[in-house]
Amino acid sequence: MKLLEPGTVVDGFVVDECMHAGGMAHIYTVHYAQPQVAQAFPMVMKVPRMTAGDGAENIVGFEVEHQLLQLLSGPHVPRFVAAGDMARTPYLVMEHVPGKPLQHWLDQAQLTHTRPGADEIARLGAAIAAAAHNLHRQDAVHLDLKPGNVVIRPDGSAVLIDFGLSWHAHQPDLLAQEMRPAIGSPPWMAPEQVVGVRGDPRSDVFAIGVMLYELATGELPFGDPQTRGGLRQRLWMDPPPPRVHAKDLPPWLQEVILHCLEPEADHRYASAAHLAFDLSHPQQISVGERGKRIGRTSWWVHVKRWLRAAGLHYHPSPLPSKQIDQVPIVMVAVPWKDASDATLYSLRQAAQRSLGARPGARLACVSVVGAGDCVTTDEARSEVQLHRQQLERLRQWAEGLDLQDHQVSFHVIEASDRAQALLAYARTNGVNLIIVGAATHGLKLQRLLTTVPVRIAMEAPCSVMLIKQSLPFEHLMLASEVDALAPAATMGDVIPPLRSPDS
């Protein structure tokens, strides 16, 4: 199809100019032809190429993107406006997302011969991972994440674009039905995609790892293979560690990148939310063998991987939303002072039960310190000392937990509004479950006083578990004798997010 001329009217949309002429589609800025129609945001029109020399994947990809854009929502995907008739003029009109593609940072690095700093790479990676997690929660997997398909908004958030190769659990997989087994862009394609496995959200985690590797080193970890044999090598081979190319790269960042690039999906981050969490809290990353590696994995490991890869074949993927819900981020709000043994014990038991039922889940232990709790003659030193003391208390509290197969991190937040600080932490870090101690007075009084637990239960973006005080049996007699603790009670139930006191 030839380029549309500026001023061309297509189904009530006026074509302004061609923004991009790619191998699969042309993209134009457009506006409504009728001036009385209000336009809430800038728009673009995507028209697939359909000349005699273009492949069938252009049309199939157009159909896939048409399906997905109507199903997806949220701040990390462009808003869908309209679509044209395939038999007449196929097109998609969607939001024109303001910002810069991730490719901008790679181009700038090439021009200036300097790489982005580790903190900036972590910031970009966390934004992309958060966007991917939002997509996965809608039972979709992008499967073509690359620098040209990620737009970073001015506020630092990421928007994913170009869903022509994507997969959705509730739609027919047209690409798998009609196209070749390996579908994707070779430099960023996950190993399981090479053998036709589609629908695993950890494939997007792999692609994010490739982008982080390129940002950190200026190199692609697996090059740009053009043959099936070249693609299959990533099923068993590791790339050179990033620090081979960038010797000043922090070990924690190499740990994250190589964790994303594990050949077997089971060894990568369990979800994009876990990846975003690490990149948002690099000081909490535990650097292991991956972060310290300076050479490739041994040939014997490659042989064993090769033998396992020989048996890989296509199989249906579970629902992405269910898959990531099995490895949640669990946040425990641990009181920083005036906490009874019963409260701390009950919170620990609730955390253990939640983790025990979810192998691979992550635990975040959070305390909020009041802004006026450390005012002394030497305020700066007092703040540092209080922060360190509370971090140590959190670590001591977690010592009684069985954390095998679980990552744990500790966070002390200074804020005057404890409930708001905990809610903001949960929203920012993709928390799936908040465990918090219940107030000791009655429900009616709690609503009148709007206690911290009640506010969290009302406004939380996720499930909340309110925990009543409870001690093990051998301590009950002592507790009753001193009358220092509330009567023993069972664990609280999980409470879904409340939207108002009357809901």
- Give the chain's domains with CATH numbers: 9-95 (3.30.200.20), 100-323 (1.10.510.10), 328-495 (3.40.50.620)
Partners of residue 495 on adjacent β-strands: 464
Global pTM reads: 0.86
Query: What does the alpha-carbon distance between residue 228 and residue 110 come to, in Å, rounded to a whole number?
Result: 29
In angstroms, the Cα distances linking 470 to 399, 426, 457, 478, 495 are 19, 25, 20, 13, 19
DSSP code of residue 99? S
Please tell me the predicted confidence (pLDDT) of residue 7.
95
DSSP per residue over 404-445, as a string? Answer: TT-EEEEEEEE-S-HHHHHHHHHHHTT-SEEEEEPPSS-HHH
DSSP code of residue 226? -
Q: If the chain, 503 residues long, is cut into consecutive pieces of 10 residues, what is the mean pLDDT of each piece?
A: 87 94 88 89 91 67 93 96 86 96 96 94 98 96 96 97 93 74 85 89 97 97 90 87 95 97 93 97 94 80 70 62 90 85 89 89 92 56 80 91 90 91 94 84 48 88 87 53 43 47 40
DSSP code of residue 236? T
Q: Which of 426, 433, 400 is nearest to 411 (CA)?
A: 426
Helix, strand or coil, per DSSP, at residue 175: helix
Please tell me the predicted confidence (pLDDT) of residue 56.
63
Q: Which of 3, 57, 12 is nearest to 30 (CA)?
A: 12
Query: What does the alpha-carbon distance between residue 320 and residue 136 come to, in Å, rounded to a whole number?
Result: 6
Please tell me the predicted confidence (pLDDT) of residue 54.
55
Q: Are strands 362-369 and 329-333 parallel, antiparallel or unpaired?
A: parallel
In angstroms, the Cα distances linking 9 to 12, 22, 32, 87 are 6, 22, 9, 18
Neighbouring CB atoms inside 10 A of 500's CB total 7
For the chain, the first-to-last Cα distance in angstroms comes to 54
Q: What share of the chain is helix, strand, coil (3-state, %, to 5)?
A: 40, 15, 45
